[in-house]
A and B are shown apart, each in its own frame.
Chain A
Amino acid sequence: MDLEFTAAEREFRDEARSWLARHVPAAPLPSLETAEGFAAHREWERRLAADRWSAVSWPEEHGGRGASLVQWLIFEEEYHAAGAPGRVSQNGIQLLAPTLFAHGTDAQRARLLGPMARGEVIWAQAWSEPEAGSDLASLRSKAVRTAGGWLVSGQKTWSSRAAFADRAFGLFRSDPHTPRPHQGLTYLMFPLDAPGVTVRPLGRLDGKPAFAELFLDEVFVPDADVIGEPGQGWRAAMSTAGNERGLTLRSPGRFSAAAERLAALWREAPEEVAGPLTDRVADAVIGARAYQLFGYAQASRLTTGEDGAPTGDLGAAASLNKVFWSELDLALHETALDLLGPAGMLADDADEAPAHGRWADGYTFSLAGPIYAGTNEIQCDLIAERLLGLPKGRR
């Protein structure tokens, strides 16, 4: 139960902290959900990449620092504590890249990772369909074999970042005649401006185009843009999904920083407002610390294992993270809005919104947490069946 950082870990923290202190923009960037804001965030990714901070855990040959999982946790703590911008390249760096490392080819990695890290190519997800949400394996968009590749048709929806992104990745049914729905799916990538692709931005709850519908009409995807074996896409996608709902999508640093800001808000609030909210503020602070320490334990388990045998994969334990961080995020933001009182109701683009609308925007975003990356109801089923060993039943 050792919480002492090594000299190398402390050095890494100092280096990250001082770089961030010098480079994080003083004023927040314009909203990521506008063309202008998207461009500004892309530019920020370029700056991060220039000094090899955009994907610290990648190998050096791809522009990373070969950082350990603990170092990545440290980087994230510093990043969020510094109030640095949201990561427009997250879909690529945290979701697609791990899949490319595990299932891609050398040529794919050489071609795709550099532009991804530099923010030159921003990736969108293309998983859900109008009739395939929690039951993702029932998806119907298809990929039909053609000379040198595939013709892809169908409809994807709630495609994160797709309103402004450059390319997308997702699953398509390449064999409609398999005994089980998880079989016959192919994982592939395509440009959002390819012939046959129509992007229709969708407003999220507050009207901002944070995702989009994608209509695909015989879009040509070359063989070089298939990840892994055709028909074996489910396994590759699930390794990505595990990463998404587990530690890497929502690092503890994000919540530690938010909990610090919440505690500051509580200390500044008038006693008649702060007093009744004491328990909830304390619970948010406790929750953020719990997630941080849980992350350290998880990183230790992944790299050294309980008995010196690294587990390498979070497995169903990723579902514990997902439920915990999404509930924590909601509680943090709801408590912040309560502390802010009447001003807490202001939308994030209102002139008078406190903290540049950060809490309001975070609140809206937190409402989606229990839904995306696999709803919390599905996660609780996975926890019950795979971690507790309860019998399968009807969903």
Chain B
Amino acid sequence: MRFLPSTEQREFARALDGLLTASDTPAVARAWAAGDHKPGRALWGRLAEAGVFGLAVSARHGGMGLLPAELTVAFTELGRHVMPGPLVETVAVAAFLERLDAGAATEWLPRIAAGEALVSLCADGPYALDADAADAVLVVEGDTVRRAEGHGPAQASLDPARRLFRPRGGTVLARGPAVTSAAGHALDVARLATAAQSLGLGRALLAQTVSHVTRRTQFGVPIGSFQAVKHRLADILIALEFAQPLVHGAAAALAAGAPSAGREVAAAKVAAGEAGHAAARTALQLHGALGYSEEPALSLWIRKARPLRDAWGTPAECRRRVLAG
């Protein structure tokens, strides 16, 4: 047993980190929030070239097969850089279509792998994320899946880069127990990817806050020399350090098709979502009024933490899942 990211996985993370750093993701996120999807779509294409969307698509459809461990590596970086868009939804739809193996699979999977299709998914509540930017919106209700033909007006959310829409109408693509089962699998993939995103988001918030409290001087000393400040940051590091193995462990369980995978994914979602959210609260508090201002880029990270904590399974839902056996 060697329960650490492999050399290849660490190189993959570094490559994505480099690509996203060079792409000014805060500007991409601000444009996205303003309804300008162009820079986001361009970056989406480059992420596909780096292999991100192929991680949930089988080789016969132009991907690498479902690789949950690599998926967590990629989504940790996407979270670290507040990349906007229906990222989780697109890989969840890929996992769903792979499992369902319906006609839509051949149509959409190669395009997802190539980064040509942004797909949103409405399966957990009434809204679809970024339906206006997506090339397709799938709606799962019970044992039925349909492709929406339109959507209602944009509903602003707590994270301006996460705009929500009610999908409308559409034609049924498939129906029956296979849909329910594929949707369950897609939910696990969505939860895992969201958990990884929270983890990366939390890491970035911690790093930015450590940097701030080291430079910010009050009473003649850096505020990071105060115990009250140190201990809050230590708590965040602890929360993130112990959430990370849960995320990696859940990926291993999903990859192995273990019967415990659903529970492990739910546990990872709770821990990473809460850690990311706690990191945002602490970042806000330790940046003081600066943290409460929209203009600094930090606000992009702070505002994303809560929606990620709650998307694809609230902590309460996931805690029940952990105990469901």
Please determine whether B222 and A289 come into contact, CB atoms closer than 8 angstroms.
no
Q: Which of B5, B10, B210, B319 contacts A390 (CB 8 A)?
A: B210
Least CB distance, B17 to chain A, in whole angstroms: 16
CA distance A285 to B320 in the complex (A): 11
Least CB distance, A124 to chain B, in whole angstroms: 30
Please determine whether B248 and A293 come into contact, CB atoms closer than 8 angstroms.
yes
Using a CB-CB cutoff of 8 Å, which residues 181-221 of chain B contact chain A? 206, 210, 213-214, 221
Please determine whether B210 and A388 come into contact, CB atoms closer than 8 angstroms.
yes
Residues of B within 8 A of A279 (CB): 315-316, 319
* Chain A residue at smallest Cβ distance from B316: A279
> Which residue of A286, A300, A307, A323 has the most chain B CB atoms within 10 A of its CB atom?
A286
* Chain A residue at smallest Cβ distance from B209: A388
Please determine whether A300 and B270 come into contact, CB atoms closer than 8 angstroms.
no
CA distance A150 to B4 in the complex (A): 48
Q: Which of A293, A307, A389, A393 contacts B7 (CB 8 A)?
A: A307
> B110 interface residue, CB < 8 Å from A?
no
Residues of B within 8 A of A273 (CB): none
Contact A300/B2 with A2-B252, A393-B227 known, Cβ cut-off 8 Å:
yes
CA distance A266 to B95 in the complex (A): 34
Contact A306/B226 with A283-B319, A290-B245, A383-B234 known, Cβ cut-off 8 Å:
no
CA distance A388 to B322 in the complex (A): 32
Can you identify 15 A-B contacts, CB atoms within 8 angstroms?
A1-B69, A3-B252, A285-B323, A290-B267, A296-B3, A300-B1, A300-B2, A306-B10, A380-B235, A383-B238, A384-B224, A388-B234, A390-B210, A393-B227, A393-B230
Please determine whether A389 and B320 come into contact, CB atoms closer than 8 angstroms.
no
- When each residue 243-276 of chain B gets 1 if its CB lies under 8 Å from chain A and 0 otherwise, what string results? 1111011011100100000001001001100000
Please determine whether B323 and A282 come into contact, CB atoms closer than 8 angstroms.
yes
CA distance A324 to B243 in the complex (A): 12
> A338 interface residue, CB < 8 Å from B?
no
User: 13 more A-B contacts (CB under 8 A) besides A286-B270, A388-B233, A390-B233?
Assistant: A1-B248, A1-B249, A2-B1, A3-B249, A3-B252, A286-B246, A290-B242, A388-B230, A390-B225, A390-B229, A391-B214, A393-B221, A394-B227
Least CB distance, B276 to chain A, in whole angstroms: 15
Interface locus among A4-12, A131-139, A220-228:
A4-12
Using a CB-CB cutoff of 8 Å, which residues 350-395 of chain A contact chain B? 377, 379-381, 383-385, 387-395
> A178 interface residue, CB < 8 Å from B?
no
Residues of A within 8 A of B210 (CB): 388-390
Residues on B facing A (Cβ under 8 Å)? 1-7, 9-10, 69, 206, 210, 213-214, 221-222, 224-227, 229-231, 233-235, 237-238, 241-246, 248-249, 251-253, 256, 264, 267, 270-271, 315-316, 319-320, 322-323
CA distance A70 to B237 in the complex (A): 24
CA distance A6 to B234 in the complex (A): 35
Residues of A within 8 A of B316 (CB): 279
Q: Which of B9, B225, B264 contacts A1 (CB 8 A)?
A: B9
Please determine whether B2 and A304 come into contact, CB atoms closer than 8 angstroms.
yes
Residues of A within 8 A of B9 (CB): 1
> A164 interface residue, CB < 8 Å from B?
no
> A29 interface residue, CB < 8 Å from B?
no
> A301 interface residue, CB < 8 Å from B?
yes
Least CB distance, B190 to chain A, in whole angstroms: 19
* Chain B residue at smallest Cβ distance from A274: B323
For the complex of A and B, the 10 pairs showing the least CB-CB separation, nearest first, are A393-B225, A384-B230, A293-B245, A282-B319, A383-B234, A380-B234, A296-B3, A390-B224, A290-B242, A380-B231
CA distance A299 to B241 in the complex (A): 15
> Which residue of B5, B227, B234 has the most chain A CB atoms within 10 A of its CB atom?
B234
Least CB distance, B245 to chain A, in whole angstroms: 4
Contact A293/B230 with A263-B323, A390-B210, A391-B214 known, Cβ cut-off 8 Å:
no
* Chain B residue at smallest Cβ distance from A381: B230
* Chain B residue at smallest Cβ distance from A307: B7
Contact A384/B231 with A9-B1, A278-B319, A393-B225 known, Cβ cut-off 8 Å:
yes
* Chain B residue at smallest Cβ distance from A384: B230
Using a CB-CB cutoff of 8 Å, which residues 276-323 of chain A contact chain B? 278-279, 281-283, 285-287, 289-291, 293-294, 296-297, 299-301, 304, 306-308, 320, 323
CA distance A290 to B233 in the complex (A): 19
Interface of A is mostly: helix
CA distance A377 to B228 in the complex (A): 10
Q: Which of B3, B213, B246 contacts A290 (CB 8 A)?
A: B246
Q: Which of B6, B241, B322 contacts A285 (CB 8 A)?
A: B322
Residues of B within 8 A of A3 (CB): 1, 3, 249, 252-253, 256
Q: Which of A1, A9, A377, A388 contacts B5 (CB 8 A)?
A: A1
Residues of A within 8 A of B271 (CB): 286, 290
Please determine whether B227 and A395 come into contact, CB atoms closer than 8 angstroms.
yes
Residues of A within 8 A of B238 (CB): 320, 323-324, 383
CA distance A320 to B238 in the complex (A): 6
Contact A320/B221 with A293-B3, A300-B2 known, Cβ cut-off 8 Å:
no
Least CB distance, B244 to chain A, in whole angstroms: 8
Residues of A within 8 A of B233 (CB): 384, 388, 390
Residues of A within 8 A of B69 (CB): 1
Residues of A within 8 A of B237 (CB): 320, 383, 387-388
Please determine whether A297 and B3 come into contact, CB atoms closer than 8 angstroms.
yes
* Chain B residue at smallest Cβ distance from A301: B4
Contact A289/B246 with A390-B224, A392-B225 known, Cβ cut-off 8 Å:
yes
CA distance A5 to B252 in the complex (A): 13
Residues of B within 8 A of A287 (CB): 242
CA distance A132 to B176 in the complex (A): 70
Please determine whether B1 and A5 come into contact, CB atoms closer than 8 angstroms.
yes
CA distance A38 to B214 in the complex (A): 51
Least CB distance, B112 to chain A, in whole angstroms: 24
* Chain A residue at smallest Cβ distance from B260: A289
* Chain A residue at smallest Cβ distance from B251: A1
* Chain A residue at smallest Cβ distance from B221: A393
CA distance A290 to B242 in the complex (A): 6
